[in-house]
Amino acid sequence: MNESYGTGRVVEPEGALPQPAKVLDASGPMRSDEFEVSVERLCLDATSFRAIRQDCNADPEAMASRVMEIVRQRGKMHNPVTDSGGVALGTVSDIGEEYRDPPAVGDRIVTLASLTLTPLRLEEVVGLDPDSAQIAVRGKAYVFNSAPWGQLPEDLPEETALEVYDVYGAGSHVARLAGPGDTVCVMGAGHAGKLAMAAAREVTEGGTLIGIDADPEAIGLVRDLGLCDIGLTADLRDPVGTRDRLAEAGAPEADLTVVVVSSTGCEPAAILATATGGTVLFFSMATSFQTAALTADGIGRDVRMLVGSGFTPDCGSWSLDLLRRSEPLKRAFGIAG
């Protein structure tokens, strides 16, 4: 089949794919190679949510207006400041006749493809908490044949399942990249960081797990739960200071460093923390890949640097199963054991 990848929804520029496009057509009706979702919740990625919160001084009405403005202007939730989006939760309301392997009408699903490429129109923001990246809305979204989606599990809290789906790639990638005896350093102790640490714990028997975050409460939680062996508080924008903190703690250089912070300027710290020949997984929309490449060049550090795509073929099933079987991860996400 000649896959269109949703290009028929691109308004400008002509010939672009939906993600880098400036504007999408999010109007109805649904097209033959799509299914339609009645959207009830957006889960913005941490970088985008943080930027909107800061720009609006944590005022919920201003934040809601900003979300509505972005979607109205672009036909998708594609933050022009951070170039990032998130995922959506909703109920399948219609299915095109050319959509392959669709969910059923009435199924509740999560749009695993980024909101930066998902045609979306919003009627209203129903509720917004400045301390939560999950926003209650009413609207419609369209999912292309090429875009992944996941069924909302019935055995997990809805909010938690959405949080895991939003960052599931962090778990899947770490499980594939790390191995027995490895030292894994996870920079950031938010949702993606917790998942990455739990995944590393699963596959690095005899290894060492290091967690670093600027928030002492966040790093204290993952350390107390046993998700890391060494937990450090550090400003990851200070690469030399971070390196010194690691040395003081007796932490070995990492075979795998995972960057899941929402702050900019953390690339040099990640490279300094990684052993020669090791791997850095940049799983953060705040990453400057020019900074990463030129920093490694400038300090003569031979490391493999990977872009952490949000997609893996398991479409979140591995990370959801990890949550089900890991009591520390459950507690980290606020689920009682």
In terms of domains, do 179 and 260 share one?
yes
pLDDT of the residue at 286: 87
Same domain, 175 and 104: no
Are 254 and 140 in the same domain? no
How far, in Å, CA of 62 to CA of 305, rounded? 38
- pLDDT (average), residues 126-140: 97
Rounded Cα distance, 77 and 247, in Å? 42
- Res 35: pLDDT: 97
Q: Are residues 167 and 293 in the same domain?
A: yes
Write down which residue in 151, 175, 203 finishes a domain.
151
Q: Looking at the predicted structure, is the pLDDT value of residue 2 above 60? A: no
Q: Classify 129 as helix, strand or coil.
A: coil
Query: What's the pLDDT tens digit per position in 179-211?
Result: 999 999 999 999 999 999 999 999 999 999 999
Task: Answer yes or no: are the C-beta atoms of 260 and 284 closer than 8 Å.
Answer: yes
Task: List the strands of the sheet with 34-44, edge to edge.
Answer: 120-127, 134-144, 34-44, 86-95, 108-111, 149-151
Structural domain ending residue among the three candidates 103, 121, 151: 151
pLDDT above 90 coverage of the chain, percent: 95
In a domain? residue 1:
no
The pLDDT score that the predictor gives to residue 240 is 97
What CA–CA distance (Å, rounded) separates 234 from 210?
12
Mean pLDDT of 128-154: 96
Distance CA 324, CA 156 (A): 8
Domain count, the chain: 2
Same-domain check for residues 172 and 233? yes
Q: Token pair for residue 240?
A: 């030399």
Is residue 2, in this structure, part of any structural domain at all? no
Position 336 scores a pLDDT of: 74
Question: According to the model, what pLDDT value does residue 310 have?
Answer: 87
Cβ proximity of 151 and 162 under 8 Å: no
pLDDT at site 1: 42
**What is the chain's percent helix, strand, coil content, to nearest 5?**
35, 25, 40
- Distances in Å between the Cα of 156 and the Cα atoms of 79, 164, 170, 336 are 29, 11, 19, 11
Predicted local confidence at residue 3, as pLDDT:
65
Domain encompassing residue 199: 158-332
| Rounded-to-integer distance, Cα 332 and Cα 189, Å | 10
pLDDT at 288: 93
Are 264 and 146 in a shared domain? no
Mean pLDDT of the chain: 96
Cis peptide before 29 (omega within 30 of 0): yes
- Percent of the chain past pLDDT 70, that is, above it, reads 99
Specify the CATH number for the domain of residue 172.
3.40.50.720
In this predicted model, what pLDDT tens digit does every residue of 38-77 receive, in sequence order? 999 999 998 999 999 999 999 999 999 999 999 999 999 9
* 29 is a domain residue: yes
The answer as to whether 144 is a domain residue is: yes
Write down which residue in 94, 121, 151 finishes a domain: 151
